A and B are shown apart, each in its own frame.
Chain A
């Protein structure tokens, strides 16, 4: 159960543009804005 609880207390971290590509792999592209206190990922829709 400890492992399960540990998993539930986790989150995802994006600190490099590559991280966003991995997490949002179903999208064709992302634009990543890296700031000191947060990262914002702009998702681009998958091409038809």
Chain B
């Protein structure tokens, strides 16, 4: 199993706290107008989006690399997801009209070669006239500014997950001190940017704090 796969295996028991995040129920609804059946979700987790799209009348399959996620999808939602590696999907070519690569797949990789393998394989199972949608973690502009200052997002556009989990384990005061040290800005400006980032991005952080904190 890949590092990303092991990561999600570890998080599987806690996913219910954080799953409605990033490419979440609200955002999938916004994309409703461009989704047509049949639909494949790559990195389906425990089936949050599969269940939502099925409720909306769509014909949806979901795959996930983590056996634990597939198991939880069945026990929590009664969904039969397919355990599969996104680089080698167990489907015939051009089976789907829409393929959605959820957050936690491509955006958790910084290796362009691996990303290319996943994209090409997803394209293979999608009809020529179909759509491939790739989701990435996002943040409000204030939170992004904070992330870049503190080195969570690097100059080459990669996301430092290790640093992210280090920061989420700190108290607010420790976070402020770390932010000041890493960004080199004054205490008042650091406090303002930290507060803005926390307030603007609170929806994304609430679930994570419940797990890490």
Contact = CB atoms under 8 A, between A and B. Distances in A.
Interface size bracket, B side? 35 or more
Residue from A9, A26, A40 with most neighbouring chain B CB atoms (10 Å): A40
Contact of A10 (B21, B136, B158): B158
A11 B133 contact: no
Interface in A1-48: 5-15, 19, 22-24, 26, 33-43, 45
The prevalent SS among residues of A at the interface is mixed
Contacts, number: 113
Interface stretch (B23-31, B60-68, B181-189): B23-31
The prevalent SS among residues of B at the interface is mixed
A42 B24 contact: no
A9 to B, nearest CB: 4
A39 B160 CA distance: 17
Given A10-B110, A23-B157, 7 more contacts: A9-B162, A11-B137, A12-B107, A12-B157, A37-B21, A37-B24, A45-B123
Interface string B14-38: 0000000111100100110010000
Contacts of B139: 15, 36-37
Nearest to A36: B140
B110 A41 contact: no
B31 A11 contact: no
Contacts of A33: 30-31
A33 B154 CA distance: 22
B159 A11 contact: yes
Residue from A26, A42, A43 with most neighbouring chain B CB atoms (10 Å): A43
27 contacts: A5-B162, A10-B158, A11-B137, A11-B158, A11-B159, A11-B161, A12-B106, A12-B107, A12-B109, A13-B158, A15-B153, A19-B157, A23-B115, A33-B31, A35-B138, A37-B204, A38-B27, A38-B103, A38-B135, A38-B138, A40-B23, A40-B31, A41-B134, A42-B34, A42-B132, A43-B131, A43-B134
